[in-house]
A = this chain, B = another copy of it.
Amino acid sequence: MAQSEPLYQRIAAGLREQIRTGQIKAGERLPTEQDLMADHGVSRNTVRLALGMLQNEGMVTSTPGRGTIVRERIMADYHATWAESRDRRASDQADAFQSEMAEQGRHAEYRDFAMSLEVAGPDFSKRLQVAEGEPVVSRGFIRYADNQPLSLQTSYYPMDIAREAGLVVPNDVAGGAIRAMAAVGHEEIGYRDEITARMPTPDEARKLQLGSGTPVIIYARTTFSDKRPLRLTLTTFASDRNRVIYELGDMRAYLAQEDADA
């Protein structure tokens, strides 16, 4: 006899397979806990361990009274290569996002705009070349599409640059922060992007309305003039609703293929 894996893992594997093969489709209900208890002849505790696995994998969500439902994922693309360099009209880095969502027929907006002064921790200090303990200017907001939160974004600026560019104000800057900096001689000519992922903090989970098994993508862009770092932008993406896209080099073959599809 094969060394048997735990009961709850077997039950989870069975449900996972039913979802993968489409026997249970996105949006549909799984059998209730009672059903699963009866089907497998196990205690409720064991059934809940199995369902807990699927929740932690982000495959299902459970709601009291409703049941356990297979999640569906929709994807918004964040084009890192040109998100900040096209149609920069409205707000800080609030730019290509709205035009891209509009193309997809979705309503994009920014909420909870906030400006504050923060003390540079080791992270900011190193990347912005600011002494630890010095103040930096933080400007952030939340991106929404169709009333659903997509990502949290906060940009940090060295104090002297923020002052020169007129960024130390508690509201949006006409034309965007990037242009405001460029206008006073701080032009962004280099970018370093660092991307990783982790599970969200409870605060992030609340703001992004994340299901329990959904990680966040952490996207950190540091920009440079020819002399120094100008800006550190931290974006926290809900990973079930976002992809980050880079296009490099000669894309004529890709573009031709896209046209053919349309």
> In the complex, which residues of chain B have a beta carbon less than 8 angstroms from the beta carbon of A190?
247-254
Determine if A42 is an interface residue (Cβ-Cβ < 8 Å): no
- B215–A197 CB distance below 8 A: yes
On whether the beta carbons of A253 and B228 are closer than 8 Å, the reply is yes
Chain A interface, number of residues (Cβ within 8 angstroms): 54
Interface members, chain A 200-241 (any B CB < 8 Å): 200-202, 212-217, 222, 224-229, 239-240
How far does the Cβ of A213 sit from chain B's closest Cβ, in whole Å?
5
Secondary structure call for the A interface: mixed
**In the complex, what residue of chain B is closest to A126 when comparing beta carbons?**
B261
When the two chains form the complex, which single residue of B214, B243, B246, B253 contacts A246, counting CB atoms closer than 8 Å?
B246
CA distance A249 to B228 in the complex (A): 14
Q: Which of chain B's residues have a CB closer than 8 A to the CB of A75? A: 196
Give the docked Cα–Cα distance between A198 and B210 (Å): 12
Assess the B193–A245 pair: CB atoms within 8 A: yes
- In the complex, how many angstroms separate the beta carbon of A172 from the nearest chain B beta carbon? 26
Is A80 among interface residues, defined by CB-CB distance under 8 A?
yes
CB distance from A259 to the nearest CB of B (A): 13
Q: Tell yes or no: A194 within 8 A of B by CB.
A: yes
A257→B129 CA distance, assembly (Å):
8
Inter-chain contact A195/B252, CB cutoff 8 Å = no
Query: At the interface, yes or no: A74 with Cβ under 8 Å from chain B?
Result: no
Please measure, in the bound complex, the distance between the C-alpha atom of A205 and the C-alpha atom of B13, giving whole angstroms: 14
A246-B246, A253-B225 known; A217 and B195 CB under 8 Å? Answer: yes
A179 to B252, CA, bound (A): 21
Report the Cα distance A105→B140, complex, angstroms.
Answer: 39
Given A81-B248, A247-B191, A249-B189, also A197-B216 (CB < 8 A):
yes
Known: A189-B250, A250-B189, A254-B192. A58 touches B222 (CB 8 A): no
Q: What does the 1/0 interface line of A56-74 toward B look like (CB < 8 Å)?
A: 1110000000000000000
**Within the complex, which residue of B242, B248, B257 is in contact with A193, where a contact is CB–CB below 8 Å?**
B248
The 8 closest A-B CB pairs, nearest first, are A215-B215, A197-B197, A224-B253, A197-B239, A193-B246, A189-B250, A191-B248, A190-B249
Given contacts A81-B248, A197-B215, A229-B253, 9 further A-B contacts (CB under 8 A): A56-B56, A57-B200, A58-B198, A58-B199, A190-B249, A192-B245, A196-B244, A198-B239, A199-B215
Can you list 6 A-B contacts (CB < 8 A)?
A190-B249, A191-B249, A192-B247, A195-B243, A195-B244, A222-B254
